[in-house]
Structure 1
Amino acid sequence: MTFWHTLKHSFGNLLPIVLVVGIFQLLIIREVPDNLGTMLVGLGIVVFGVAVFLQGLDLGIFPVGKGLSNAFARRGSLPLLMTFGFSLGFAAVVAEPALIAVAEQAQLISAGRIDALTLRLLVAFSVGAVVALGVLRTLLGHPLHWYMIIGYLLVVSVTFFAPEEIVGLAYDSGGVTTNIVTVPLIAALGVGLAASIKGRNPLAHGFGLVALAVMVPMIAVQLYGIVVYTLLPAPLETAEAARTLAQAPSSRTAGRQALIMFVDLLSMLRDVLPIILVIVFFQYAVIRKPIPYVRRVVLGFAMVILGLYAFVVGLKLGLFPVGRSMAEQLIGLDTLLWVYLFAFAIGFATTMAEPALIAIGAQAEEAAHGKLDARHIRLLVALGVAIGISIGVHRIIVGDSIHFYIMGGYALVIALTFIAPRFIVPLAYDLGGVTTSEVTVPLVTALGIGLATHIEGRSVLIDGFGLIAFASIFPIITVMLYAIVMEWIRPDTGETT
């Protein structure tokens, strides 16, 4: 029965995408896409994979991870807490499905110049380091806004020197690090620490770890791009050649296909292995207590691996083709207005159904003692994502450089940080990191790549990435603006929360 509820929950997360795509296909495009049957099968596999993955998290990873967090918080050892925070952040991000999807697309489009595994390890290391820093911030009681202001000034500064091929990917990599694996674990660690330390406010000091986990990978990936595109020689193949090869008809035999599926399944085991090693090491070598309900935990890890594998297969069959097909069909219409409308509708509908956003909104309402309304938060964030993706689509259509959009967006975020009520700043930044689900990210990524592919004069690598970044920036702006307006209207709702 529990799995049935999880399966319905997974389908509910995909339903807004299906409805938006279906409405546009029937009423506006009035065409049936090629390979519709394969796409539908792929979407079904995605639903099943996400459900199995989530069920595995609930059975295995979440209970043990939260138990370890509580145990370390009670011990109060700073080095131990920071080490655990680093390990937890690293292990969770390595197995993040949305990051896997983006990294594989980046490797394909760059003809191997950007290595998918290297990119994921780099992002995972960055998140681990920043979670350790966030634990220290919570323990010391430092306000988050100075960390974010200095950090995003550094992000914008690095963007000046980063090659244009890496900027969109770098910002997208930051935006996809916090989803179904990382958000619950990192948010529970931060809020749990703040609640267990005297003088700390869960709203002001508990939130912020997710925001930091979004920011630092942007810096690391841009530095990686500087090395790859400036210091290392270019491969002989071009991105266009790699894309053509990837789209060529396959001549695989049944035996070869089975071997490829087995290797893919082993790669999923490799992805989840860091989480297993972290949990086993800290449980037995540091806490020195056996894992409770070992059989259930082992079953949970097996379900995580199987679900992750099914999710990746479903991406290739369903979500990626849907995004590319919609981009091609919408570009072929008489007016580009439908492209903007589709981007806005996808952003708003999928964000309203985002599980991580619902969870964070409920936590924020509880921590603020009801002075924040979870429904208002969801609407504001959904509006921000819709606006952000629409602006990102506009950038691809007109061919502008992403540098100016990103730097302008974060300049506005930094300015608002100075004047926004202090209680809202950590929450606003965290909300910018939980707006893109494991289902939304692949579709939006495929939409951007599809638009860049079918608009003359656009580079898939330079222009195709970046939509996730816009979806992360604008919710921060809408939430901060809302808090500023509400404080101006009702001054008593400020710092008292």
Structure 2
Amino acid sequence: MFYIRSFLHSLLHALKNLLPIVVVVGFFQLVILQQVSDDLGSMAIGLLIVAVGVALFLQGLELSIFPVGKSLSNQFARKGSLAILLSFGFAMGFSAVIAEPALIAVAEQAQTISEGRIDGLTLRILVAVSVGFVVALGVFRTIFGYPLHWFMITGYVIVVIVTWFAPEEIVGLAYDSGGVTTNVVTVPLIAALGIGLAASIRGRNPLIDGFGLVALSVMVPMITVQVYGMVAYSGGTGAAAMEAITAQVAQAPAKSGIIAALLDLAGMLRDVLPIIITVLFFQYLVLRRKLSNPKKIAFGFALVILGLYAFVVGLKLGLFPIGTSMAEQLMAMDSYAPVYLFALMIGFATTMAEPALIAIGKQAEEAAAGALNGNAIRLLVAVGVAVGITIGVHRIITGDSIHYYIMGGYILVILLTLLAPRYIVALAYDLGGVTTSEVTVPLVTALGIGLASSIEGRNVLIDGFGLIAFASIFPIVTVMTYAIVSQYRSERRKETQ
């Protein structure tokens, strides 16, 4: 009975979070485009399935990934072996990414389009090793209490330098490779690992020391893929790969039947299986202890898989066709003003519905013991994504080079990092990483490709991609700016008292 009440509560919460998307789509259909899509019934069903998927997913996290991640971290911290902790961090990061479907798709398309100059397996291993390395690095940082901001400042200085020298065509693939590492499974798992470890070590603050692993997981693949591209890249791999993926996504609703459904469900199981194997290996072979409640944990993992499956099916059925159709219609209009407005509104709406953001916002609220409000955090991130995507759309319309925008954005992030209060830095970087997941990426990618395809003189391979990078940068800016302003006001109030 408790599980049913919890599920219904999560379902109502998910429906409320999807409401902004319905409002944006309805507004543009009725007011801007002045035509109603024939797929409204399908869209309504798809949104309902999305809500059910989010509810199942969140409940599954609470029963499996969150408690297991925190429990393992606590047990390893008590065991006191640095080598085991670092190995556990590397294994969790590597296993969570190597089987990521979006990364597999990008790698396969990159190999095909580059005619073998980029090896798909090499690319996947490179990204997975990068994430494993940075999770281990994050564990090392948490254990010894090193400030995260120095890691992030150093890393993003390197990102800016590497981006300056990287070929224009590789930048899209590099930033997308960083983006696809932070999905609705990896974000909660990696966040739970960091928070659990920080909570178990005396003198560590879960808010300051527990967050940051997600941010590192996004940053380092950007560097390694660009360096790899400098050596091996030839042609339009990154952009063309994402274009092919977007075309496949747009056609996905045409697939139906029991076989297709089973294949999709098997794909979700494949996504979660490496994590399950890693957990069982360290629990039974390294710690040599049984899980405290294996049936409950197994049930939780099953809910996670079913929730992910329902989530993706709902998106394909309800949002992808509408998003693609609306992008084409908007770009056929005489003015670009509706495009800017759509970018702003859809960026905000899709981010508010992002399940990974909901999960990490909830964790931040718990880690801060009520000092932070999860809904306020989500609102700040959604505003950042909306602003970032709008600026990215402006770049495509004007034809400016992505290099200057990306480097300028990260220079601003570095400056804000130096000014921001320490408690917000790790969380802000993590929040920038959770914006590039299953809801945001397909809609934003379709918008960028459609814009570049319809504007004369634009190259889809170079100009059509990069919106995801903007969606990652500007939430960091909004969250840190809010913290700086709040701290300033607090200090002024103390001075006047």
Q: TM-score, normalised by structure 2?
A: 0.84
Asked whether the 8 Å contact 1:127–1:216 carries over to 2, the reply is: yes
Once residues 118 and 311 of structure 1 are traced to their aligned partners in structure 2, the CA distance between those partners, rounded to angstroms, is 30
Q: Does 1:298 align with 2:302?
A: no
The alpha carbon displacement at 1:363 in A equals 4.8
- Structure 2: how far apart are the matches of 1:223 and 1:267? 30
Aligned to 1:269: 269
- Equivalent position to 2:153, from 149, 152, 155: 149
Q: Secondary structure at the match of 1:11?
A: helix
Decide which moves more: 139-148 or 46-55: 46-55
In 2, Cα distance between the equivalents of 1:430 and 1:262?
33
Structure 1 position 333 matched with structure 2 position 333: yes
TM-fit CA distance, 1:426: 2.0
Work out the CA distance in 2 between the residues paired with 1:246 and 1:368: 42
Partner of 1:64: 68
- Calculate the aligned-residue CA RMSD, in Å: 3.6
Q: Secondary structure at the match of 2:424?
A: helix
Matched, 1:394 2:394: yes
Call closer, same or farther: CA 1:188–1:388 in 2, change over 3 Å.
same
1:268–1:308 CA contact under 8 A, matched in 2:
yes
Structure-2 change in CA distance of 1:115 and 1:319 (3 Å): farther
Report how far residue 81 of structure 1 moved.
1.0
Mapped to 2, the partners of 1:329 and 1:382 lie a distance apart of 25
1:31 corresponds to which residue? 35
- Match for residue 206 of structure 1 among 203, 210, 223: 210
The CA deviation at 1:265 is 4.2
For 1:12-23, list aligned pairs within 5 A: 12-23=16-27
Q: Distance in 1 between matches of 2:107 and 2:32?
A: 31
Match of 2:406 in 1: 406
Question: What is the aligned partner in structure 1 of residue 416 from structure 2?
Answer: 416
The partner residue of 1:159 within 158, 163, 172 is 163
Conserved 8 A contact 1:94-1:272: no
Alignment of 1:57-206 (within 5 A): 57-94=61-98, 100-101=101-102, 104=105, 112-113=113-114, 119-206=123-210
Q: Distance in 2 between matches of 1:47 and 1:210?
A: 25
Task: Report the counterpart of residue 468 of structure 1 in structure 2.
Answer: 468
Q: Secondary structure at the match of 2:233?
A: helix
Shift of 1:296: 3.6
Q: Structure 2 regions of 5+ residues with no counterpart?
A: none
Match of 2:448 in 1: 448
Deviations 1:334-366 (A, max 9, x none): 321111111111222333444544554455456
Q: How far apart, in 1, do the equivalents of 2:103 and 2:407 lie?
A: 22
Letter in 1 for 2:484: I
Amino acid aligned to 2:491: P
The letter for the 2-side match of 1:104 is A
**How far did residue 278 of structure 1 move?**
0.4
CA distance 1:125–1:313, change in 2 (3 Å): farther
Amino acid across the alignment from 1:408: G
Task: Return the letter of the residue paired with 2:139.
Answer: V
Give the superposition deviation at 1:49: 4.0
Query: 2:431 corresponds to which residue?
Result: 431
**Whole-Å separation in 1 of the counterparts to 2:230 and 2:388:** 26
Q: 1:300 to 1:150 in 2, by over 3 A?
A: same
Assess if the C-alpha contact under 8 Å between 1:321 and 1:446 holds in 2: no
* Alignment partner, residue 289 of structure 1: 289
- Cα gap change, 1:16 to 1:122, in 2 (>3 Å): farther
- Which stretch shifts more, 274-283 or 203-212? 203-212
Distance 2:158 2:124 in 1: 21
DSSP 3-state at the match of 1:130: helix
Report matched runs for 1:224-263 at 5 Å. 224-230=228-234, 262-263=262-263
Letter paired with 1:4: L
Tell whether the 8 Å contact from 2:54 to 2:355 is kept in structure 1 after alignment.
Answer: no
Once the two structures are TM-superposed, the CA of residue 313 in structure 1 deviates from its matched residue by 4.1
Q: 1:32 to 1:119 in 2, by over 3 A?
A: farther
- How far off its partner does 1:215 sit? 0.9
Q: Which residue of 2 aligns with 1:218?
A: 222
Aligned residue number for residue 458 of structure 1:
458
Change (3 A) 1:33 1:164: farther
Distance 2:13 2:345 in 1: 21
Instruction: Give the secondary-structure state (helix, strand or coil) at the position aligned to 1:326.
Output: helix
- Offset of residue 424 of structure 1: 2.8
Determine the C-alpha separation between the residues in 1 that align with 2:20 and 2:78.
42
Q: Say which SS state the counterpart of residue 490 (structure 1) adopts.
A: helix
Give the C-alpha shift of residue 245 in structure 1: 8.8
Amino acid of the residue matched to residue 90 of structure 1?
Answer: F
Q: Deviations over 1:260-289 (max 9, x none)?
A: 555444443332221121011111101212
Q: Which runs of 5+ in 1 are unaligned?
A: none
Task: Note if contact 1:348-1:383 (Cα within 8 Å) is conserved in structure 2.
Answer: yes
